Each structure stands twice: as structure tokens, then as C-alpha cells.
């Protein structure tokens, strides 16, 4: 990978020819639109190390196998292929780039139901777990479903894990602190909600649950820890993992109606 500083008179065509790469690749890697460059702008230049010319009948799977790589790696290196239903004979694709290093990093990403399709596709290339955001619930313990079908289809397409997110969103799509209190006070409602969660996870193929509650009143600290513990035990029995999203505060917060103290944070982290 090289860093090139744009000079007076530079064009994408000129820079691409200098480094032996395509204009499209430079524009894509640097989020350049309408071929507009600014003097002094720093550009990331990825130079191909190994290229392959597509032949009739080729598939990504066959090419990946031939070069000891993966379809996902090929799509990362040639992202324009994401929405191509076929490979064009005679076109060159990048197998690998110079001076790049593959690292094993486990990444996850949250996605709203209205996320742009191309952004969703590209994000799924680089993450290992998708978290559609988010399911809410009512005071009777019924779930407020989200339109997550499109997101789950894309996660499956790229072989990514799917983690369901639960937040105290009400019917108006607002975070409702009273829903948290009701959940922590009402055992029957809590049990019903957990049953609905597990049914939905099984129906939609979710593999884990993420609980994302904030601004829990101080007097409900212990009840919240107990709720997380109970939820983890019940879901673990069914083969599901549980995670808890905590605000970046590790002591008593200065804000009213605060989250967790350091001791409770450690206890939750141990589940």
C-alpha cells in the first residue's frame, strides 16, 4: 500500500497509470466521486501483486480454490463483483495486493433496517457478525419486531453470525425507561418476554442475544444483574450466547438515573 499526495494537474487517470492500477479502484478506496481531486489530498494506492484474467466458465469458487484463497477475499479485492451475476471473460481481477497483511480479527456491526443495500453488502464482507438494531418490547412482554429479513438474508449470504439486539424501544420507537423498570419488577412479564425472544431467535436463525439497556435507575442495579444472569442461563441451555452492551462508564455516573457501578460491571462481564 502506498500513500500518494495529489499535486497540481493530477487526474485519476494519470495517477492510475503511474501506479499501474485502475481509476475505479483508486476512486473506490478513497471514496472519490465525480473524479474530483484536491491538491494536497492523500490517496491510498493499493497495487496488485497477482492478477488473473477471467476465462469462459470461471466461477469465483473455482478461482478462489485455484489460488488457495476464499470467495470473500476475492470480493474484498474486487468489490465491484458483488452485484455481478456472472464473470466477464477477459476481465482482470485482483487475487492479492502488494504489501498487505491478512489478520484474523473478529468484527461485528450494527445495522438499522433502513441501511442502504450496497453499504450492507460491503459491510458484510468485512465483519463476522451482524446485529440488526433493534427489537423492542411492550409492557405485557410481547416483542416489537423489526423488519430484519433483508439484513438476515445478507448475513447468511456471507456466512456471518446473527445476533439479536434487545433494547427498551416502545411502539413509538423511543427508548422508554419505564419499560426497563417494568421488566425488572415483573417476573411473569420477564419470563414471557424471554420465551418470545427464544421463539423469535429460533424462527429467524439468530445465534446470540445482545441486551442494550441504558440509564437504569440506581436502585435497580441488583435486579438488572439478576435479570442478565437469569437470561444467560436460560439461553445458554438452548445453545444461545448472551452479550451485554454497557455504556463506557465504570463508576458511579454523574448523570441522573445511572447505569452500573464497577462491581456490577465485573459481575455482568463474567456471565
Least confident of 11-15, 171-175, 245-249, 256-260: 256-260
What is the per-residue pLDDT for 270? Answer: 46
SS (HEC) of 130-164: EEEECEEECCCCCEECCCCHHHHHHHHHCCCEEEE
Hey, is 79 helix, strand or coil?
helix
User: Alpha-carbon distance 203 to 222, whole Å?
Assistant: 32
Q: Do 1-46 and 49-100 agree at the fold level?
A: yes
Q: What is the pLDDT of residues 100-150, one digit of tens each?
A: 776 777 889 999 999 999 899 989 999 999 999 999 999 999 999 999 999
* Dihedral in degrees, nearest 10, Cα atoms 8, 9, 10, 13: 170
At the topology level, CATH places domain 108-269 in TIM Barrel (3.20.20)
User: Alpha-carbon distance 260 to 183, whole Å?
Assistant: 17
- Could you tell me if 1 and 44 are in contact, meaning their C-beta atoms sit under 8 angstroms apart? yes
Q: What is the pLDDT of residues 167-196, one digit of tens each?
A: 999 999 899 999 999 999 999 999 999 999
Q: What percent of the chain clears pLDDT 90, i.e. is strictly above it?
A: 65
The helix or strand, by DSSP H or E, that contains position 94, with its residue range, turns out to be strand 92-97
User: Alpha-carbon distance 104 to 101, whole Å?
Assistant: 10
At the topology level, CATH places domain 49-100 in Membrane-bound Lytic Murein Transglycosylase D; Chain A (3.10.350)
User: Alpha-carbon distance 135 to 150, whole Å?
Assistant: 15
Mean pLDDT of the chain: 87
The helix or strand, by DSSP H or E, that contains position 229, with its residue range, turns out to be helix 221-237
Distance of CA 77 to the CA centre of its chain: 19
User: pLDDT category, 78, cuts 50, 70, 90?
Assistant: confident
Decide which of 2.60.40.1080, 3.90.550.10, 3.10.350.10, 3.40.50.620 is the CATH code for 1-46.
3.10.350.10
User: Are β-strands 48-53 and 92-97 bridged in parallel, bridged antiparallel, or unpaired?
Assistant: antiparallel
Domain ranges of the chain: 1-46, 49-100, 108-269
* Residue 63: pLDDT over 80: yes
Q: Which residues contact 213 (CB under 8 A, 6 or more apart)?
A: 167, 168, 180, 224
* Residue 258: pLDDT over 60: no
What is the per-residue pLDDT for 104? Answer: 76
- Can you read off the three cell numbers belonging to residue 64? 478462489
Cα separations (Å) of 153 from 5, 120, 222?
40, 11, 38
What is the per-residue pLDDT for 256? Answer: 42
Closest CA to 216 of 166, 261, 173, 163: 261
Cα separations (Å) of 151 from 60, 114, 147, 158?
23, 9, 8, 11
Cα separations (Å) of 247 from 65, 100, 162, 255, 258?
43, 34, 22, 12, 10
Amino acid at each position: 500500500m502506498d500513500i500518494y499526495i495529489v499535486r497540481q494537474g493530477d487526474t485519476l487517470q494519470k495517477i492510475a497509470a503511474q501506479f499501474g492500477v485502475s481509476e475505479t479502484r483508486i476512486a473506490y478506496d478513497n471514496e472519490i466521486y465525480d473524479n474530483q481531486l484536491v491538491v494536497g489530498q492523500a490517496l491510498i494506492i493499493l497495487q496488485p501483486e497477482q492478477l488473473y484474467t477471467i476465462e469462459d466458465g470461471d466461477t469465483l469458487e473455482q478461482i478462489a480454490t485455484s489460488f488457495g484463497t476464499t470467495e470473500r477475499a476475492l470480493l474484498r479485492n474486487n468489490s465491484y463483483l458483488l452485484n455481478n451475476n456472472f464473470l466477464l471473460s477477459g476481465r482482470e481481477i485482483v487475487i492479492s495486493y502488494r504489501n498487505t497483511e491478512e489478520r484474523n480479527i473478529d468484527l461485528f456491526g450494527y445495522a438499522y433496517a433502513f441501511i442502504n443495500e450496497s453499504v450492507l453488502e460491503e459491510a458484510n464482507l468485512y465483519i463476522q457478525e451482524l446485529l440488526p438494531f433493534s427489537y423492542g418490547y411492550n409492557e405485557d412482554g410481547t416483542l416489537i419486531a423489526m423488519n430484519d429479513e433483508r439484513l438476515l438474508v445478507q448475513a447468511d449470504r456471507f456466512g456471518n453470525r446473527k445476533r439479536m439486539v434487545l433494547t427498551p424501544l416502545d411502539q413509538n420507537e423511543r427508548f422508554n425507561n419505564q419499560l426497563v423498570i417494568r421488566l425488572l419488577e415483573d417476573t411473569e412479564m420477564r419470563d414471557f418476554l424471554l420465551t418470545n425472544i427464544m421463539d423469535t431467535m429460533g424462527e429467524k436463525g439468530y445465534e446470540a442475544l445482545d441486551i442494550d439497556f441504558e440509564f437504569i435507575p440506581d436502585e435497580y442495579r441488583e435486579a438488572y444483574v439478576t435479570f442478565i444472569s437469569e437470561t444467560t442461563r436460560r439461553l445458554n441451555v438452548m445453545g444461545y450466547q448472551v452479550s451485554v452492551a454497557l455504556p463506557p462508564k465504570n463508576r458511579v455516573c454523574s448523570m441522573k438515573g445511572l447505569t452500573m457501578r464497577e462491581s456490577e460491571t465485573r459481575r455482568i462481564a463474567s456471565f
